[in-house]
Amino acid sequence: MTGRSFQADFARALREPDRPLPDGLTDSRRFAVYRNTHAVTLAEALAQGFPVVAALVGAEFFAALAGAYRMAHPPRSPLLRLYGRAFPDFIAGFPPAAALPFLADVARLEWALLDSAEAADAPALPPASLAALPPDRLYAARLTLAPAVRLLSSAHPVLSIWRAHQPGGAAPGPGAERILITRPAFDPVPVALSEASFAALRMLASGATVGEAARHGDLTEVFTLLLDGGAITGLS
Is 105 part of a structural domain of the chain? no
Is 111 part of a structural domain of the chain? no
Return contacts of 207-216, CB within 8 angstroms, 24+ apart. 207/142, 208/142, 209/139, 209/140, 209/141, 209/142, 210/138, 210/139, 210/140, 210/141, 210/142, 210/143, 211/139, 211/140, 214/139
Which residue, among 155, 154, 156, 211, has the nearest Cα to 180 in the 3D structure? 154
Is 113 part of a structural domain of the chain? no
Residues spanned by the domain of 181: 120-236
Q: What is the mean pLDDT of residues 35-42?
A: 72
Same domain as 63, residue 173: no
Which of 72, 100, 128 corresponds to the end of one domain?
Answer: 100
More reliable by pLDDT, 227 or 77: 227
Same domain as 136, residue 86: no
Note the pLDDT tens digit of each residue in 90-123.
999 999 999 999 999 999 999 999 999 999 999 9
Identity of the residue numbered 87 = F
Is 109 part of a structural domain of the chain? no
Same domain as 157, residue 88: no
Is 114 part of a structural domain of the chain? no
Is 220 part of a structural domain of the chain? yes
Same domain as 91, residue 1: yes
Residue 232 reports pLDDT greater than 60: yes
Same domain as 85, residue 171: no
Dihedral pair phi/psi, residue 122, rounded to 5°: -155, 135
Measured CA to CA in angstroms, residue 10 lies from 5, 21, 106 at distances of 8, 8, 34
**Quick one: pLDDT at residue 40?**
79
Same domain as 236, residue 127: yes
**Quick one: pLDDT at residue 4?**
52
Residue 218 reports pLDDT greater than 70: yes
Is 155 part of a structural domain of the chain? yes
Same domain as 189, residue 95: no
Which of 100, 132, 148 corresponds to the end of one domain?
Answer: 100
More reliable by pLDDT, 2 or 222: 222
Do residues 229 and 147 make contact, with C-beta atoms less than 8 angstroms apart? no
Same domain as 236, residue 141: yes
Per cent of the chain over pLDDT 70 is 84
Q: What is the mean pLDDT of residues 18-26?
A: 55
Is 60 part of a structural domain of the chain? yes
**Quick one: pLDDT at residue 220?**
92
Same domain as 199, residue 95: no
Total count of domains within the chain? 2
More reliable by pLDDT, 170 or 90: 90
Q: Which residues pair with 142 in a beta bridge?
A: 209
Same domain as 215, residue 140: yes
Q: Which residues pair with 194 in a beta bridge?
A: none
**Quick one: pLDDT at residue 37?**
65
Same domain as 40, residue 84: yes
Work out the mean pLDDT of the chain and round it to a whole number.
Answer: 87
Q: What confidence tier does 136 reach under pLDDT thresholds 50, 70, 90? A: very high
DSSP symbols for 154-211: ESS-HHHHHHHTSTTPPPP-SS-EEEEEE-SSSS-EEEEE-HHHHHHHHHHHTT-BHH
Same domain as 227, residue 128: yes
Identity of the residue numbered 34 = Y
Which of 100, 129, 150 corresponds to the end of one domain?
Answer: 100
Do residues 150 and 82 make contact, with C-beta atoms less than 8 angstroms apart? no
Cα distance between residue 80 and residue 12, in whole Å: 19
Strand order in the sheet with 189-193: 150-154, 177-182, 189-193
